[in-house]
């Protein structure tokens, strides 16, 4: 899912440099491939993260104080630490002559920040300037923190009005009606974690689905989303559901294959670190890539995959080095995930 998140963030059409904006010349076939990977297949990542987070939280009967204590350590502290590091990195990068081109961004010019800008850099949604924090991907953590703090309220409402609340949450998600505190998507899939726990739903029915059936259905709905944009709003939601079901079904294969499971288990220790570090590294790598590669045709597709995998590799290397050399620091940066 972390890999998918990086591909979502790597699907761009222009790159801002200190000297101006470079618009990529993207052929239709490259555009379709990028849309397929970043805007269809990879879009299951965030809903599944919220679903798993909600399910794991509701497995235990936590009090509000227990949730507050645990999530402050695992989410809030690394959130503030990484945001502070990003502000320092941008300030330094925008100040030094030889790095200005790679950190130039009119919306994030640290030297011109006022108090509201710094608040915006941390929380994003609660100001009028941007819905996202400075560390762009941390909107997920921000929503997750607020959802965790609302978990007990959700539980009480769902216990009293289970069907009505579910239909309302699905409706908000379909029409993209985002709530003030968190997005409709994050709320829906987070509370679905409680429904799974509440009604003791298992993966037996998902495991019983034939691969041919789900892959054929997925291929059809993907083609509709790719080539019939008039149906894109609703079919996109359907593809998220189908893709998530397929991912859960595939996870059984990963569990049963001992070698794959062992590799994924080892890599899982770096999931949060890769997630936290990949931006603005991903942005910098894109700016470097257009200095050494053409910005048209097949080169755009090569750059798309190359930059994402180089970013992942760098994050993993840094994470491995930190974890082995200064484990306490790594644990602190990862919210206790060692």
pLDDT at 111 over 90: no
The pLDDT score that the predictor gives to residue 228 is 92
Looking at the domain assignment, is residue 303 inside a domain? yes
Q: Which of 44, 43, 52 is nearest to 191 (CA)?
A: 52
Q: What is the pLDDT of residues 116-169, one digit of tens each?
A: 778 888 887 565 556 788 888 899 999 999 999 999 999 999 999 999 999 999
Residue 98 DSSP one-character state: G
Per the listing, tokens 């509440």 go with 198
Q: What is the pLDDT of residues 262-289, one digit of tens each?
A: 999 999 999 999 999 998 889 889 988 8
Contacts of residue 223, Cβ cutoff 8 Å, sequence gap at least 6: none
Torsion of CA 212, 217, 218, 221, to 10 degrees: 160
Q: What is the pLDDT of residues 46-105, one digit of tens each?
A: 999 999 999 999 998 888 888 888 888 889 999 999 998 888 887 887 777 767 666 666
Q: What is the pLDDT of residues 229-256, one digit of tens each?
A: 899 989 999 999 999 999 999 999 999 9
Q: What is the pTM of this model?
A: 0.89
Looking at the domain assignment, is residue 206 inside a domain? no
Structure tokens at 82: 């990484």
The pLDDT score that the predictor gives to residue 86 is 85
Mean pLDDT of 32-45: 96
Mean pLDDT of 36-43: 97
Structure tokens at 132: 């996202």
Structure tokens at 121: 């850099």
Looking at the domain assignment, is residue 240 inside a domain? no
Looking at the domain assignment, is residue 151 inside a domain? yes
Strands, E, within the chain: which ranges?
Answer: 14-17, 20-23
Mean pLDDT of 207-214: 95
d(CA 48, CA 245): 10
Looking at the domain assignment, is residue 248 inside a domain? no
Per the listing, tokens 């819905």 go with 131
Domain residue limits at 282: 2-201+257-333
Other beta carbons within 10 angstroms of residue 169's beta carbon come to: 22
Looking at the domain assignment, is residue 235 inside a domain? no
Looking at the domain assignment, is residue 220 inside a domain? no
Looking at the domain assignment, is residue 12 inside a domain? yes
Q: What percent of the chain has pLDDT over 90?
A: 61
The pLDDT score that the predictor gives to residue 322 is 95
Give the chain's domain count.
Answer: 1
Burial 177-214 (b: 16+ CB within 10 A, else e): ebeeebbbbbbbbbbbbbbbbeeeeeeeebeeeeeeeb
The pLDDT score that the predictor gives to residue 191 is 97
Task: Answer yes or no: are the C-beta atoms of 36 and 226 closer than 8 Å.
Answer: yes
d(CA 76, CA 141): 8
The residues with which 17 forms a beta bridge, in sequence order, are 20
């Amino acid at each position: 899912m972390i890999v998918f998140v990086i591909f979502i963030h790597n699907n761009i059409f222009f790159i801002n440099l200190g000297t101006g904006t470079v618009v990529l010349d993207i052929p239709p076939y490259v555009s379709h491939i990028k849309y397929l990977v970043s805007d269809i297949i990879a879009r299951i990542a965030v809903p599944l993260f919220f679903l798993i987070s909600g399910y794991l939280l509701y497995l235990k009967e936590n009090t509000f104080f227990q949730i507050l204590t645990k999530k402050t350590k695992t989410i809030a502290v690394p959130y503030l630490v990484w945001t502070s590091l990003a502000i320092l990195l941008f300030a330094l990068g925008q100040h030094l002559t030889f790095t200005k081109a790679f950190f130039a961004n009119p919306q994030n010019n640290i030297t011109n920040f006022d108090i509201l800008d710094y608040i915006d850099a941390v929380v994003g949604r609660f100001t009028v300037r941007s819905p996202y924090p400075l560390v762009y991907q941390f909107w997920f953590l921000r929503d997750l923190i607020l959802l965790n703090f609302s978990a007990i309220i959700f539980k009480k409402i769902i216990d009293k009005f289970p069907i009505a609340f579910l239909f309302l949450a699905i409706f908000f998600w379909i029409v993209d009606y985002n709530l003030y505190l968190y997005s409709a998507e994050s709320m829906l899939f987070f509370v679905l974690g409680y429904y799974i726990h509440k009604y003791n739903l298992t993966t037996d029915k998902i495991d019983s689905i034939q691969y041919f059936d789900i892959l054929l259905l997925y291929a059809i709905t993907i083609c509709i989303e790719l080539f019939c944009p008039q149906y894109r709003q609703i079919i996109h939601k359907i593809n998220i559901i189908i893709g998530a079901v397929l991912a859960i079904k595939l996870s059984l294969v990963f569990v049963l294959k001992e070698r794959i499971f062992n590799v994924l288990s080892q890599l899982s220790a770096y999931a949060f670190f890769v997630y936290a570090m990949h931006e603005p590294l991903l942005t910098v790598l894109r700016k470097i890539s257009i200095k050494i590669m053409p910005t048209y045709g097949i080169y755009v597709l090569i750059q798309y995959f190359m930059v994402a995998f180089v970013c992942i590799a760098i994050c993993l290397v840094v994470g491995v080095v930190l974890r082995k050399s200064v484990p306490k620091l790594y644990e602190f940066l990862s919210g206790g995930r060692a």
